[in-house]
Chains A and B, each alone.
Chain A
Amino acid sequence: DTGVSQDPRHKITKRGQNVTFRCDPISEHNRLYWYRQTLGQGPEFLTYFQNEAQLEKSRLLSDRFSAERPKGSFSTLEIQRTEQGDSAMYLCASLMRGADRNEQFFGPGTRLTVL
Chain B
Amino acid sequence: GNSVTQMEGPVTLSEEAFLTINCTYTATGYPSLFWYVQYPGEGLQLLLKATKADDKGSNKGFEATYRKETTSFHLEKGSVQVSDSAVYFCALSVSNQGGKLIFGQGTELSVKP
A: residues with CB less than 8 A from B are 31, 33, 35, 40-45, 48, 55-56, 91, 93, 95, 97, 101-109
Complex Cα spacing A56 to B100, Å: 9
Q: Among A40, A103, A107, which residue has its beta carbon within 8 angstroms of that of B43?
A: A107
List residues of chain A with CB within 8 A of the CB of B43: 91, 106-109
Q: Among B42, B89, B105, which residue has its beta carbon within 8 angstroms of that of A108?
A: B42
Is B106's CB under 8 angstroms from A48's CB?
Answer: no
- Shortest C-beta distance, A58 to chain B (Å), equals 8
B: residues with CB less than 8 A from A are 4, 32, 36, 42-46, 49, 51, 89, 91, 93, 95, 98-106
Is B105's CB under 8 angstroms from A41's CB?
Answer: yes
Is B106's CB under 8 angstroms from A42's CB?
Answer: yes
Beyond A45-B102, A106-B44, 16 additional contacts (C-beta under 8 Å) are A33-B100, A33-B101, A35-B101, A42-B105, A43-B101, A43-B103, A45-B101, A48-B98, A48-B100, A97-B99, A102-B99, A103-B46, A103-B49, A104-B46, A108-B43, A109-B43
Complex Cα spacing A48 to B51, Å: 21
List residues of chain A with CB within 8 A of the CB of B46: 103-105
List residues of chain B with CB within 8 A of the CB of A56: 98, 100
Complex Cα spacing A44 to B104, Å: 9
